[in-house]
Amino acid sequence: MALKAILDSLDGVDPQFHDLHEEKDGKFVLVIEGIEQHPGAQSLKSALDRVRGEKRTLSEKLTTAERRLKGLPDDFDAYEHLRQRAEGKEPANLDERLTAQKTQLEAKFAKEREKLEGRATKLDGALRRVMVDDGLTKALLDAGVDKTFLPAAKALLKEKGQIKLVEDDDAIEVFADDGINERTPLSDYVRSWAGQDEGKPFIAKATGGDAKGGQGRSFGENPFDPKNPNRTKQQELIVANDAKARQMAEAVGIKPYW
């Protein structure tokens, strides 16, 4: 009677043969020395070696096929290729077709990229304009500029070319270049400008009984002021900055006469 190689239990097995078994995964496996020399094991090994050899051969064939197919156009038709050869026609050069296909894709993606970059540039420009405009509006109002003169004051400061956007990493901030510090806070720059001769005419008139007004600001010198006109400065201002001269005249209720 042959010994079974694997048993579910050792019940019914002579106790003297229990030591010939090892328990593995709930089974009792017969321990056999020289199992690799057993005819049955050799047959299994031969079959395994054969399968491994066939697998290796298939893998090599697949690799060879992949190398041959690499670079073929997406629309390559093997049957059409063979038909043309059978008819004595030389199929289109595959390298040329591949190059043409690559060129088409690159052109398509380049166009899409250009479109996206153009849109990003427009959005970036719009964002920067809004940031400068909003920053100037707030700074001018804080400095006491009359709301009526806001557009003119903003245009004047923008023309000076000293307002700039500075981008650090992902942050964009508005600064002014006052000739000494190119990153002067916008509020400080506008406040200083409003206190000079160029900015004073844009300051809101004083209100109430106090000559300085509710916030302690004076109107500033205006050569068109009927109470204290200065003809010389009027002419100088008209020649130097006609738009500003008109604004200052209208600020004191005088219709420009030039």
pLDDT in tens, 139-182: 999 888 888 888 888 888 888 888 888 877 767 788 988 888 88
- According to the model, what pLDDT value does residue 215 have? 36
Our CA angle for 143, 147, 153, nearest 5°, is 65
CA distance 5 to 40: 12
**85-115 in b/e burial notation, b at 16+ Cβ within 10 A?**
eeeeeeeeeeeebeeeeeeeeeeeeeeeeee
- According to the model, what pLDDT value does residue 149 have? 87
**What sign does the dihedral 23-28-33-35 (CA atoms) show?**
negative
Say which residue, 4 or 43, is predicted with more confidence. Answer: 4
Q: Residue 3 contacts by C-beta under 8 Å, 6 or more apart in sequence?
A: 17, 20, 30
CA distance 166 to 10: 85
Q: Which of 10-14, 77-81, 122-126, 161-165 has the lowest mean pLDDT?
A: 77-81
- pLDDT for residue 32 is more than 80: no
- According to the model, what pLDDT value does residue 69 have? 58
Highest mean pLDDT among 74-83, 140-149, 214-223, 244-253: 140-149
Q: How far is CA 128 from the centre of its chain?
A: 17
- pLDDT for residue 208 is more than 50: no
- According to the model, what pLDDT value does residue 220 have? 56
CA distance 165 to 132: 8
Tokens linked to 42: 């050799």
**What sign does the dihedral 12-18-21-25 (CA atoms) show?**
positive
Say which residue, 86 or 91, is predicted with more confidence. Answer: 86
- pLDDT for residue 10 is more than 80: yes
Q: How confident is the model at residue 43 (pLDDT cuts 50, 70, 90)?
A: low
Say which residue, 89 or 91, is predicted with more confidence. Answer: 89
195 phi and psi angles, rounded to 5 deg: -90, -5
CA distance 215 to 144: 9
CA distance 251 to 203: 10
Is the whole-model pTM more than 0.85?
no
